[in-house]
Amino acid sequence: MNDFRSEDSASDIPPLPIGMRRGASGPYEPGGSTVPSWLVAFLLVAVAVLMLRNAGFLSWMSFRDAGQPRAVTPRGELAQDEKSTIEIFQKASPSVVYITSLSHHRDRFSMNILEIPEGTGTGFIYDDAGHIVTNYHVIRGAQAARVTLADNSTWEATLVGYDANKDLAVLKIKAPASQLRKIDIGESSSLQVGQKVFAIGSPFGLDQTLTTGVISGLGREIKSIGGRPIEGVIQTDAAINPGNSGGPLLDSAGRMIGVNTMIASPSGVWNGVGFAVPVDIVNHVVPELIQHGQVQRGVLGVSIFEDSFARRLGVKQGALVRDVVEGTGAGAAGVQPTYIDDNGEIQLGDAIIEVAGRKIRTASEVAKALDGHKPGEQISVIVERDGKQVPLTVELIAAPQK
């Protein structure tokens, strides 16, 4: 058989070494498909960098996210108590106002009368007629006042009346009824310690500020700016700061249950103890202020010694009568005053030990017993005279306005 293979047959040609090519004359020479050494080095470095970055050693080289905003994580539904709080604020805040008290000063150069802001506070819309309720101490001594509504409109206010003994005042603005959303009124007689409460006000001039807390105590007593005690005061831990005065304290139904009036704090800022005048007092006093400009409060027509002096005189209980005003019900009923006789001896007058069925132990309790009674009413009074209890009937007179 013929052999078709030759010297150049493929079976006689050795395999081509890597990196070698066949030369023109037969010998193998380097070149052709050779991978450059620099490329191999670059690839090795790139692989090492990727491995190190993935291992967390080169986190600063995460170029993919550099300069790009993070994706937003969906939050889902608001919690039910958050929804409730938001609803209460949105419902009540349009009824809360910002009050600026002003004083008048004459410019020394132009001789013009200037209105100078003296202080700020909070109030709330009481009715559609434009009556604004606030604390008396917010506008005390002011010669003018401005009221800013929740829509940022500002109105000049006039003073309708005030009751210093309850630290309440009523202003009036001439805003259209369409801009006035009166606050919902609650009641304070059924409140319980632990109930959630919400305060809206203008602490440090920051209007429409909401703070939350609970009723910490009930039946507290504070001294009013008029000097008489305010009973039944609500204690709360909702943050109340300067500027909150006169603002509403709300229950979880969004009803006004008190007027924030003062805090107990040595520093003058919130320290966890705040007080509000209960709405039952507000709803009794405000209509009288709107109608009469003052509260017509009945009194006996006597002046009373301080307890410390009465105790030094030997009166162990009750309120010792100092003077009796002529022409009053006390005088007509025969109440006896304390006096000094011709020998310079102190002759003790009557000690009041009961008023309208309420026991009297101290001088301040007389005013408490008369709270809510009107001029012209006849009430029962028991006095101690010469060691004996004497019952009397006294017709009340109108308390003088300071």
Q: Is 314 left (phi over 0), alpha (psi -120 to 50) or beta?
A: left
Reduce the DSSP state of residue 194 to 3 states and report it.
Answer: coil
Q: Catalytic residue, from 95, 101, 131, 137: name it.
A: 137
List the one residue out of 209, 211, 126 whose CA is nearest residue 170: 126
Q: Which residues of 97-133 are buried (b: 16+ CB within 10 A; e: fewer)?
A: bbbbbbeeeeeeeeeeeeeeebbbbbbbbbbeebbbb
Cα separation of 394 and 352, whole Å? 12
Q: Catalytic residue, from 95, 131, 163, 167: name it.
A: 167
Locate 254 and state its tokens. 């969004």
Q: Catalytic residue, from 163, 245, 251, 307: name it.
A: 245
The burial of 3, by beta-carbon neighbours within 10 Å (0-12 exposed, 13-18 middle, 19 or more buried), is given as exposed
Active site residue 167: yes
Query: Which 8-state DSSP code applies to residue 364?
Result: H
Cα separation of 344 and 129, whole Å? 60
Active site residue 110: no
List the one residue out of 109, 172, 169, 115 whose CA is nearest residue 139: 169
Cα separation of 30 and 171, whole Å? 105
Cα separation of 124 and 276, whole Å? 14
Active site residue 245: yes
Number of C-alpha atoms within 13 angstroms, CB side, residue 331?
A: 9
- Active site amino acids: 137, 167, 245
